[in-house]
Amino acid sequence: MNRLTTEAQHSSPASSSGRLSAGLAGFLIILCLAASYAVPYYAVALREAYENRQWIKTGLSGAEIDEWKREKISRRMAVSWRNAGFKPPHASLWIKEGIEPEDAGKWNSGGIDFYDVKYWEKAGFGPEAATAWNKERFHHTMANEWKEAGFGLQEAKKWKEAGLFPSLAKEWKMKGIEPADAAAKMKKSKQP
């Protein structure tokens, strides 16, 4: 052997039998442990940075993004709900009921309480019709009674203002009597 080869072997961290020195082995173990933590950590950090960049492109602020993420609402859905005028906790209620942002916006802007929507829908009223009845101070139950008795909103309003309920108004209407006349006759005789 030549002199350079012999010096290289003696200066290497491995001994002549091919084993690592204790110091180098410890260093490699620490390096592997650090890598096992750092690689997944930085992979997640890079992924989140990319996702946050995509979220920021929507025009939402950092605080808003955090709120939507906390509610587990996707970026695409968050934009739809925000455009319909909703914030995360409120949007979550509508999402759980399976109501789309545009419809929820119509219900909400019509002044229909979230908890009443299912009753209006069950009675066969959409957002526009429910809003119209609600603005005239008809509760969903009463609106449904008038509808089932065959009255539209404007006609029901006249009969209601005359002090009659749907079933009685229907009887008077079938006789061809107008709401004001029916109310006057009711005062006199208390019967249709």
pLDDT in tens, 141-173: 999 999 999 999 999 999 999 999 999 999 999
Return the higher-pLDDT residue of 15 and 79.
79
Question: Is residue 40, in this structure, part of any structural domain at all?
Answer: no
- Answer whether 82's CB lies under 8 Å from 60's CB: yes
- Helices 101-109 and 75-83: crossing angle in degrees, nearest 10, is 30
Question: Is residue 93, in this structure, part of any structural domain at all?
Answer: yes
110 C-beta neighbours (distance < 10 Å), count: 19
Share of the chain above pLDDT 90, in %: 58
Question: Is residue 155, in this structure, part of any structural domain at all?
Answer: no
In this prediction, residue 41 carries a pLDDT of 79
Question: Is residue 165, in this structure, part of any structural domain at all?
Answer: no
In this prediction, residue 6 carries a pLDDT of 47
Question: Is residue 64, in this structure, part of any structural domain at all?
Answer: yes
Question: Is residue 100, in this structure, part of any structural domain at all?
Answer: yes
Distance CA 182, CA 162 (A): 8
The number of distinct structural domains making up the chain is 1
- Residue 137 confidence (pLDDT) above 70: yes
- The range of the structural domain enclosing residue 96 comes to 59-109
Question: Is residue 30, in this structure, part of any structural domain at all?
Answer: no
pLDDT in tens, 51-77: 778 888 888 888 899 999 999 999 999
The amino acid at residue 74 is: S
In this prediction, residue 8 carries a pLDDT of 47
192 pLDDT tier (thresholds 50, 70, 90): low
Q: Which two tokens stand for residue 56?
A: 């920021």
Question: Is residue 83, in this structure, part of any structural domain at all?
Answer: yes
- Helices 114-122 and 101-109: crossing angle in degrees, nearest 10, is 100
Least confident of 16-25, 72-81, 179-188: 16-25
In this prediction, residue 15 carries a pLDDT of 47
First to last CA, the chain: 127
pLDDT in tens, 88-125: 999 999 999 999 999 999 999 999 999 999 999 999 99
